[in-house]
Amino acid sequence: MTDLVVVSLESWDRIWRRNQHLVAGLLRTDPGLRVLFVEPSADPIHAAIHEHRATRGRGLRPGPDLGAGTAGRWWLHQPTKLLPRRIDAGSDRRWARGVARVVRGLRFEDPLLWVNATQGSHLLELTGWPTLYDITDDWLLADRGDDERARLVSEEAYLLTHSEQVVVCSPRLQRDKKHAHQHLVPNAVELAPYQENRRRPPDLPSGRTALYVGTVHADRLDVAVTADTARRLGRSGTVVLVGPQLLSADDTRVLSEAGVLLLGGKDHDDVPAYLRHADVLLVPHVVTPFTDSLDPIKVYEYQAAARPVVSTPVAGFRDLDDELVMIAEAASFADTVARTITDPPEPRAHRPAPPTWQQRVAQMRAVVDALGART
């Protein structure tokens, strides 16, 4: 029996990300595995300030049945953050003690710790559990305030010093996050849903569409380029964004006034239909050191969809040898999309399949086994 505590950057919800694919795959393939998946804390004060509904965390609850005998072998836990860090300097240590209590209540024996959110450094410091640090984004390169960046620097330094295993998802992270036991485990895609005939989603507009799938956030999305593209297409097509909407009100207004349609997040089972029915797939990302650290899941999803792609020269896309992928600088992005949507390239008859999550699960299983062996 292996017990695993996962400290995630994202909640477990209908919009699946790397952690969900990997944890679900590990649970399905290892009947002796038990998992506690720790979600980001609910923050009622922050929610109230930003005019959202303020709610407490959902606490401990059974994880949904993922098939293959996973029911009853894993749990979700969402704590509550009562006060901001600038007021409550001990909030992270209190969070760690709360998670440790939940783990004891589940009677996990000598658990392994999988840290994706750097806050997990406080749980490692408290417990000394054998730790795997999974680095999916270099938040030290993102645009953050001085206090937030100082916290991230301190937490990551502790993790890189005290973790037994480190996993990175991109070559840039492999270069920048040195560790004696480092493993490159990129992202992937589930191929089967892209090989099915699915109906056009009812909220996808009629006519030609240029579609972006991913988190709509200023750390990634170039708002000006996206708005310019929508204006350039005019009546010849619609720019559609599918994904959690985390932009400011001003950026959202800029996009809406340009004619961009924001559909919000969609269930991961429904995303392939949006991609397959689009005329062009978009990657209007800003080109920054932060985006250079990423291995976007959309690289693999877009390849599986086999639709034309227009991308700014960002990591994951700029080095692809794919006849369907056009790379365009910000200044020429809108024109390239306009040309591609009316005159798309033809795919090769036999295109290589992108890597699958089953392959990545096998890689991560080897890392977890190595962590247990070192223990």
223 and 132 in a common domain:
no
Q: Based on the domain organization, do 165 and 204 belong to the same domain?
A: no
Residue 212 lies in a domain: yes
Helix axes 120-127, 91-105, angle to 10 degrees: 60
Residue range 33-61: mean pLDDT, rounded? 83
pLDDT at residue 351, rounded to an integer? 84
Q: Are 66 and 26 in contact (CB under 8 A)?
A: no
In terms of domains, do 65 and 102 share one?
Answer: yes
Same domain for 363 and 239 = no
Same domain, 144 and 212: no
Residue 293, in any domain of the structure = yes
Q: What is the rounded distance in angstroms from the CA atom of residue 299 to the CA atom of residue 296?
A: 6
The verdict on 294 and 279 lying in the same domain is: yes
53 belongs to a structural domain = yes
For residue 50, what pLDDT band results from cuts at 50, 70 and 90? low
CA torsion angle 131 58 145 214 (round to 10): 80
- pLDDT for position 373: 85
Residue 313 is part of which domain span? 192-342
CA distance 323 to 303: 11
Assess whether 148 and 111 both reside in one domain: yes
Mean of pLDDT values over 98-105: 98
**Within a domain: 349:** no
pTM of the predicted protein model: 0.93
Give 226-290 as a DSSP string. HHHHHHHHGGG-EEEEES-B---HHHHHHHHHHT-EEEE---TTTHHHHHHT-SEEEE-B--SHH
pLDDT at 89: 80
Q: What is the CATH number of the domain that holds 183?
A: 3.40.50.2000
In a domain, 279, yes or no: yes
Q: Rounded CA gap, 196 and 168, in Å?
A: 32
Q: pLDDT band for position 88 (50/70/90)? A: confident
Residue 166: beta bridge partners? 133, 182
Asked if residue 201 and residue 128 are part of one domain, the reply reads: no
Residue 350 maps to a domain: no
Q: Percent of the chain beyond pLDDT 70? A: 97
Number of domains in the chain: 2
